[in-house]
């Protein structure tokens, strides 16, 4: 018998429902099978549910007149207090989906400030992947609807936001149409302009830690675009992870307001630049620690050259197998009880890792 014929005959529809009851499967699975058999538009779920449970309880009167029954309750008949109670047991992602149902439920969802521990978003030109506190999602179309349904929630807060941007054409307003409050952010972008766009979407002052990865300077771009953002100026910690994002000694003055920072630094003259690095950094009043991945353009045996320039003592004796040469040095800041403690670890002939701690 054709599905169209069944849909036109109420008794045949009820016969199909009675059959589903006899299979003793959960009602939701029964409804899915019913729709697969006779069509998605054959009967709404609440009507299917009514007849399913009548038949389940042994009431097989196909001609029962439903008009004598009281008006069925809907979600909107639920007391607001009860809605709020249910909302307490939902996480921010689940409440975000409620916002699209109707105005009253949206108001209930918005009464709970959405707070996340971690939001991770990876965007390619043909695909998107995102994670909200271990809720994983993906999409292979151009729409941002499902992603922004969470990000557009008012007063959204997150401890850590990660943005991996592999699409140069991506516009910030498509993803972050309203400011987002995050304690820390990692941005991996294709251009400095793109990084600045998305960094500017994070609430300055609330943002404490910035990490920028895989950044390539294009023609006409410079780090000044990042330095000038309020987010950078008000941050407490900044890290540049990519070796392609290398600074020179003159750039260090832009880090003076930070408690900590990490970056790659390139020098053409270690003997001249190391004392300059030391003398710039000891003036940073807020500094607690920093890490420089130091690279020299021409100096071989760099760590020894660095130590001599710093007037540090070089250890004598052979190294253990697999051990890297490490040099420590403490520099007393003039006219102060504070000092800088240097720990210099050799990476190779042309680079070393320099950890500096300000001791008060």
105-124 pLDDT, tens digit per residue, is 888 888 888 899 999 999 99
* Average pLDDT score over residue span 92-99: 82
Domain annotation covers residue 102: no
Residues 154 and 44 in one domain: no
Mean pLDDT to the nearest integer, 307-320: 89
Segment 26-63, tens digit of pLDDT: 898 999 999 998 888 889 888 899 999 999 999 988 98
Average the pLDDT over 83-87 and give the result.
85
Does residue 237 sit in the same domain as residue 167? yes
Residue 332 has pLDDT above 90, yes or no: yes
Based on the fold, state whether residues 334 and 194 are members of the same structural domain: yes
Tell me: do 162 and 290 sit in the same domain.
Answer: yes
Give the pLDDT of residue 68: 76
Angle made by CA atoms 52, 53, 59, in degrees to the nearest 5: 95
| Structure token pair of residue 90 | 């939902």
Which tens digit of pLDDT belongs to each residue from 276-298?
999 999 999 999 999 999 998 77
Torsion of CA 282, 283, 284, 285, to 10 degrees: 110
For residue range 210-247, list pLDDT tens digits in order. Answer: 999 877 666 667 788 999 999 999 999 999 987 667 78
Q: Which residue, 235, 237, 265, is CA-closest to 249? A: 265
Last residue of a domain, one of 14, 39, 72: 72
78 DSSP 8-state letter: S
Are 26 and 146 in a shared domain?
A: no
Please say if the pLDDT value at position 260 is more than 90: yes
Position 218 scores a pLDDT of 66
**What is the SS3 assignment for 98?**
helix
Q: Stretch 175-180: mean pLDDT, rounded? A: 89
Residue 340 confidence (pLDDT) above 80: yes
Count of alpha carbons within 13 angstroms of residue 69, beta-carbon side: 8
Q: Which residues contact 26 (CB under 8 A, 6 or more apart)?
A: none
- 283 and 346 both lie in a single domain: yes
Which of residues 73 and 186 earns the better pLDDT score? 186
Q: What is the pTM of this model?
A: 0.76
Please say which residue of 72, 92, 108 terminates a domain.
72
The mean pLDDT value for 74-78 works out to: 74
Which of 19, 53, 72 is at the close of a domain? 72
Shared-domain flag, residues 278 and 216? yes
Clarify whether residues 68 and 129 are in a common domain.
no
Q: How many folded domains does the chain comprise?
A: 2
Q: Flag whether 97 is in a domain.
A: no
Shared-domain flag, residues 45 and 121: no
Same domain flag for 148 and 225? yes
Query: Is residue 13 in a domain?
Result: yes
Domain span including residue 150 = 116-359
Task: Give residue 123's pLDDT.
Answer: 92
Does residue 110 form part of some domain?
A: no
Given a cut of 80, whether residue 76 has pLDDT beyond it is no
d(CA 348, CA 115): 44
Rounded to 10 deg, the angle between the 80-88 and 103-110 helix axes is: 50
Distances (CA, A) of 153 to 95, 106, 123, 335: 10, 10, 20, 52
**175 in the same domain as 49:** no
Rounded mean pLDDT of the chain?
Answer: 89
Percent with pLDDT over 90 in the chain:
54
Characterize 58-74 residue by residue with b for buried, 16 or more Cβ atoms within 10 angstroms of its Cβ, and e for exposed: eeeeeeeeeeeeeeeee
Higher confidence at residue 126 or residue 273? 273
């Amino acid at each position: 018998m054709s599905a169209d014929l069944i849909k036109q005959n109420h008794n045949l529809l009820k016969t199909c429902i009675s059959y589903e009851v006899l299979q003793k499967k959960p009602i939701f699975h029964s409804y899915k099978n019913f729709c697969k058999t006779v069509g998605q538009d054959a009967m709404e779920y609440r009507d299917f549910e009514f007849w399913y449970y009548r038949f389940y309880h042994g009431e097989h009167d196909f001609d029962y007149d439903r008009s004598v029954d009281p008006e069925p309750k809907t979600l909107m008949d639920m007391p607001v207090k009860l809605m709020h109670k249910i909302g307490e047991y939902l996480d921010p992602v689940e409440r975000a989906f409620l916002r699209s149902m109707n105005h009253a439920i949206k108001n209930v969802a918005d009464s709970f400030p959405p707070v996340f521990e971690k939001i991770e978003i990876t965007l390619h030109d043909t695909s998107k992947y995102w994670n909200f506190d271990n809720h994983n999602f993906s999409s292979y179309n151009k729409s941002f609807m499902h992603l922004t349904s969470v990000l557009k929630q008012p007063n959204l807060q997150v401890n850590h936001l990660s943005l991996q941007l592999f699409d140069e054409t991506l516009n910030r307003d498509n993803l972050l149409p309203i400011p987002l409050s995050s304690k820390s952010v990692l941005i991996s972008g294709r251009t400095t302009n793109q990084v600045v766009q998305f960094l500017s979407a994070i609430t300055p002052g609330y943002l404490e830690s910035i990490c920028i990865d895989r950044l390539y300077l294009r023609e006409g771009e410079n780090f000044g675009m990042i330095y000038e953002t309020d987010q950078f100026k008000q941050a407490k910690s900044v890290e540049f992870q990519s070796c392609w994002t290398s600074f020179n000694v003159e750039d260090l003055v832009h880090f003076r307001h930070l408690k900590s920072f990490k970056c790659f630094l390139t020098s053409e003259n270690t003997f001249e630049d190391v004392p300059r690095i030391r003398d710039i950094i000891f003036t940073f009043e807020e500094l607690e620690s920093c890490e420089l991945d130091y690279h020299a353009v021409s100096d071989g045996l760099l760590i020894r050259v660095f130590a001599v320039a710093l007037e540090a003592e070089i250890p004598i004796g052979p190294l253990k197998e697999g051990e890297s040469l490490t040099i420590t040095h403490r520099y007393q800041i003039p006219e102060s009880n504070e000092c800088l403690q240097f720990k210099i670890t050799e990476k190779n002939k042309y680079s070393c890792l320099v950890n500096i701690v300000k001791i008060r």
